[in-house]
Structure 1
C-alpha cells in the first residue's frame, strides 16, 4: 500500500511538471515570434530596403527555420505590392541563387503548398472586399476612395483578392511581412500604423508585435526599429 501511495505521488508530480512545461511553452509562444516568423521579418525587411547581401543570409536562415520554398516565394511576390516590382524581382533572383547553392550542397528543401485557385463563387471585387473587411475589422471607406475610385477597386480586386486571397500563406504571416517591409521604408507610417492594427486583427499579440520590433532592431537597424516602435505605441494607445 505504501509503495502504491509513493507511486501515485510520483505520477502526480510528473503530470504537474509536464503541465507546467506545457503552460510555459504556450506562454513563450504567445510572447515572441517563433523562428519561422522572425525569418519572415528579416526576409521582408531586406527585400523592401534592397539589401540583397543580407537578404541572401536571411533566406537561408528562413529555410533552415522551416519556411517552405513556396511560402518564401509568396512573401517575395506579395511585397511587390508594397515595395515595387524592382525590389520583388531582385529578391526573387537572389532566392533562385540561394536555392541553386543549397541544391549543389545536397540540401533538399520542402517545396510546400501551392496556392489553390481563387473562388469562382464571387467576383474578385466581392472576394477582395470580404477579405479586406475581415482583416480591417470593418468595411473600409474614406475620402481618398471617393476621390480616386480606381485605387479602391485595385486594392480590393488585386491586393486583397488576387494576393491575400492566395491560401498558401496565412494572414498572420502576410501581415508580419507587410509590417516588416513598411518598417524598412521611409514615408509610409500611415500605412504601417494601419497594418499594425490589421496584424492584431489576425491574432498577433502586443508581445509578438514588440518581438517583431526587436527583430528589426537586432537584424535590420535601430532607426527602423525605433520608428516602428513609435508607430506601434500610437496604435496601442488608441486601442
Structure 2
C-alpha cells in the first residue's frame, strides 16, 4: 500500500470520511484564478457527496481509488487517470477498499465557484464496489484490476477463493503484461479472444467474453458474425454449443432474436461473389488452385468459393480486415492448421494487416492458447512475413 509523505493538513471531518490530508499547491491569493491541491486518502477514506459550480478536474498520481457521479456506478481510478467533473454534478471520490490514493484536485474559475457539500458517503454506498477478486493481498497490479474491471464490472470470481495463486499469476499476465504489450483496441481484442475460445472449444471463457463484449458496446450482430464465421473453419458440431450459449446470454440481456440478416448473397450469386472475395484476399493464387485441382476434388474448391467465402465472408456486420484476423484466430487456436495459417497470414497482409498487427494478435491470444500453438504461429509468420 502507498505510504504518504509530506501529508499536509488534515482534511475537515465535516466533509470527509476516514483519514485524508490536503496540501494546497496553488491558491487564488497567488494571482491564479484556480484552486489546486494535492489530496491524500488512506484506504477506505473519501469525500462527502458534493458539487462545484465551476466543475473540477482530478489528476490521479498514486494508488487506486473510486469516483462516482450521482446516479452512475462507481468508477475505479488509478495513477495517470484524469477525471473531468462537470459543473453542478454531485459526486464523490476517495481511496479504494485496499489501497490508498492521492490525486491533484483543481477547481477552475475559482472566483465564480461555489462548493456545495452534501451528506457523507455511507458504508453501504461505498461497499457497492467491493469485490474480493481485487484485494491487494492478491498482489494484482492496478492495470490488471482496471482492464479486468472494464470487461466485467464488479464480477466476483469463485477461483479467487479456491485458486488465489492462479488468479494472481494469470490476471497479472493476461490483463496487464500482455494487454500493455501493444495498442490493440479493446473491442478488437475481445472479438479475437471470442474467436479463439471457439477454436479452442473453451465454452466457459467464450461465455465470459460474450458478456464482456456486450459490456463494452460490441453489438449483438458483431458477436453473431464471429459465431457464424467460425462454422466453416471449426465445423457446426463444435459450434452448436456456442450458438446455444450465445442465445441464452442474449435472452438474459433481453436481446430479441433473430437479429437482422447480414447476408449479401443469394443462391445464384454466392459463387460469383465468393470468388471475388477470395481473390480480393488471396489474389491470383485462387486461379492456380482451380487450375491445379484434381477433377475429383474440384468440388471442394467450389465449396470454398461459394460456401466459405460466398455464404460467410461476404456478410455485413464486420469489415474484411477484422474477418481475416478472426479467421487467423480460429486457425491458431484449432492447432494442426499450419498450412492454412500461412495462407491466411498472407491473406491478412493483402487486406492491410501488417506483421506488427499479426504479432499483436498472436500475443493477445497467448494466455488463451498456450505457448506451443503460439510458437507454431510465430514460425508461420516468420516464414511468410519475415522481419525486414
- Shorter-chain-normalised TM-score: which range? 0.7 to 0.9
SS at match of 2:318: coil
Shift in alpha-carbon separation, 1:236–1:147, aligned structure 2, 3 A: farther
Equivalent position SS for 1:211: helix
Match of 1:214 in 2: 363
Pairwise CA distance, 1:222: 2.1
Distance (Å, rounded) in 2 between the aligned partners of 1:231 and 1:222: 14
1:98 is matched with which residue? 249
* Alignment correspondent of 2:328: 179
Measure, in 2, the Cα distance between the counterparts of 1:229 and 1:75.
23
Q: What is the number of residues matched between the two proteins? A: 203
**Contact 2:197-2:368 within 8 A present in 1 as well:** no
Q: What does residue range 1-239 of structure 1 map to in structure 2 within 5 Å?
A: 32-103=183-254, 114-118=261-265, 123-140=269-286, 141-142=288-289, 143-144=292-293, 146-237=295-386
Deviation at 1:37, TM superposition (A): 1.1
Describe the shift of the 1:116–1:159 C-alpha distance in structure 2 as closer, same or farther (beyond 3 A): closer
Comparing both structures, which one devotes a greater share of its residues to helix?
Answer: 1
Query: 77-86 or 200-209, which moves further after superposition?
Result: 200-209
Cα distance in 2 between the residues matched to 1:66 and 1:219: 22
Does the 8 Å CA contact 2:263/2:314 hold for their aligned counterparts?
A: no
Asked if the contact 2:263/2:311 (under 8 Å) is kept, the reply is: no
Secondary structure in 1 aligned to 2:209?
helix
Q: TM-score normalised to the size of structure 2?
A: 0.48
Q: Which has the higher contact order (CA 8 A, sep 6+)?
A: 1
Contact 1:48 1:83 in 2 (8 A): yes
- Work out whether residues 195 and 227 of structure 2, in 8 Å CA contact, stay in contact via their aligned partners in 1: yes
RMSD over aligned CA atoms reads: 2.5
Contact 1:37/1:176 (<8 A) preserved: no
* Distance in 2 between residues matched to 1:42 and 1:114, nearest whole Å: 24
Counterparts in 2 of 1:226 and 1:71: CA distance versus 1, 3 Å: same
Distance in structure 2 (CA, Å) of the matches to 1:33 and 1:154: 34
- Superposed CA deviations along residues 78-136 of structure 1, whole A, max 9, x for unmatched, are 11101100222111111122223344xxxx79x9874154279x732221111111111
Considering only CA atoms, is the larger Rg found in Structure 1 or Structure 2? 2
The unaligned stretches of length 5 or more in structure 1 are 1-30
